[in-house]
Each structure stands twice: as structure tokens, then as C-alpha cells.
Amino acid sequence: MCSQITEIVAIDGPVGAGKSSVGRRVAEILGFAYLDTGAMYRAATWWAIENGADLDAPEALAAITQLMPLHMTDHNGELRVFVGSQDITEAIRTPEITRQIYKLDHVAGVRDHLVTLQRAFGAQQPTVADGRDMGTVVFPKARWKVYLDASLEERARRRAAQLAEKGVHVDLAALRKEIEDRDRKSMTRAVSPLRKAPEARVLDTTRLTFDQAVDAIVGFVREAS
Ligand code: DC
């Protein structure tokens, strides 16, 4: 199956490097679909909690994930995430979900199911997919691979600014520590750790504006097409 998947822009990178916002805009410009795989792990975590699953029981988590009636839509350029008819777009972004996600994201049975859904999505249309294992595991034959990075300081600063826009004021040092901790967990887990695919183009956005980061990826895709 993987060998047929090529029209994919695979974007991986650590927390807060801009994968989702940049990826979404790149998809829009290229006329590709956009797949936020982090939202899928968030939805699986929400669903497991909602169903009272034991978050320390990998088999139960794998089984419950397979029953999740997940679907995602593009609503006026905005991703909406549904489980059945329930819109959980906002519910999956809470600190509680972010904290508990590590109970699921290293479980092979959970990942296998979500990866199957991700590949099916990518097989249907040209896609920009962002996550932690897009170029390494999910779409190893992706035609374009990007590893989006930025300094820890800058990623924390951007996240704090995003939260401030929503009226939430956080301690920058605590936020930096939380981001560092999440990165360490993603990079050191045994299953599908966050790694740069050897052939991925590294884009350090520390000193780039949003538009410059978008242009760099669009340029890369066009030049390598
Ligand atoms: O991109 P995000 O912060 O919304 O992702 C939420 C979590 O899901 C993140 O902490 C790591 C995990 N994740 C993953 O393990 N594999 C992916 N392809 C995407 C996200």
C-alpha cells in the first residue's frame, strides 16, 4: 500500500514548531487536503476517557480506539473533529487531554489503527500531513518530507503569545519546561519516536515569519515536483 502513496507532503517536528498552522496554509496554497494527525491522537485520548477506559491497559486502549467513530471535516478552512455526531474540536485541546495523551501514543495497537486511517486518507488525494512519524513510519514514500524545527525559546514564546490572544497568561519558564518534557517523551518512546527522516529537508523557523515558513515549503514542493 505504501508504495503507491507519493503525493504527500510529510511534516514532522517538535511541539510548537508551527506544523499545523504552516501545514494547513501550505495545503491550501497547493490545493492539497490537510491531515492533522495530532488531532487524531487527541481524539483517541478523549474517546478513551469518555468511555471510562483504563488508561494504563494497552489492550483496552487499542480495542476502544478501533471503535471510535472519528471523522474530521474542513469547515471554512477550519478543522472540525467529530466522534459520531459530537463535535470535540475544542474538547481535545484541553490541558487534561494533552497530559493524558502519553498513555495512548506509545501503544502499538492504538497507533496501528490510526496509521491505517491516515494512510487511507492520504491514498485518496494529495495530502499535507503533519505529526511526529509522517516521514518515518506513516508515509515513508512521501514525495516531500519536511522536518520543521525552531528553538525551544521561540516555540515557548509563540505558544505563550497564542495563549495570550485567548486571554490565558502563562509562566514562560513553566511553559518551556512543559514543551521540553513533551518533546523528550515523543523523542524517546520506543514506538514511532519523533525523528527526522534521513531524506527530510530541515526547516528551522526560529527566525522565519509564518509566511516565510509557508513559502519555503511551497517552494520546496514546487521545485521538487
Ligand atoms: O501535534 P499535537 O501536539 O496536537 O499532538 C498531540 C500529541 O500526539 C503529541 O504529544 C504526540 C502525539 N502524536 C504522535 O504521537 N504521533 C503523531 N503522528 C501526531 C501526534
Tell how far the Cα of 194 is from the centroid of ligand 1, in angstroms. Answer: 9
Tell how far the Cα of 131 is from the centroid of ligand 1, in angstroms. Answer: 6
Q: What is the pLDDT along the chain (225 residues), one digit of tens a residue?
A: 444 547 999 999 999 999 999 999 999 999 999 999 999 999 999 999 999 999 999 999 999 999 999 999 987 778 899 999 999 999 999 999 999 999 999 999 999 999 999 999 999 999 999 999 999 999 999 999 999 999 999 999 999 998 899 898 999 999 999 999 999 999 999 999 999 999 999 999 999 999 999 999 999 999 988
* Interatomic CA distance for residues 19 and 87, integer angstroms: 23
List of long-range contacts for 158-165, beta carbons under 8 Å, 24+ apart: 158/16, 158/18, 159/15, 159/16
Spell out the CATH class of 8-206. Answer: alpha beta
Tell how far the Cα of 211 is from the centroid of ligand 1, in angstroms. Answer: 24
Residues having CB closer than 6 A to ligand 1 are 15, 37-38, 41-42, 101, 105, 131-133, 182, 186
* Interatomic CA distance for residues 99 and 169, integer angstroms: 19
What does DSSP assign to residue 136? I
DSSP three-state, residue 29: helix
Using the atom order of ligand 1, give the atom closest to the CA of residue 189.
15
Alpha carbon nearest to ligand 1 atom 4, residue: 38
Domain extents for the chain?
8-206
Using the atom order of ligand 1, give the atom closest to the CA of residue 19.
1
**Is the overall model pTM greater than 0.85, yes or no?**
yes
Alpha carbon nearest to ligand 1 atom 12, residue: 38
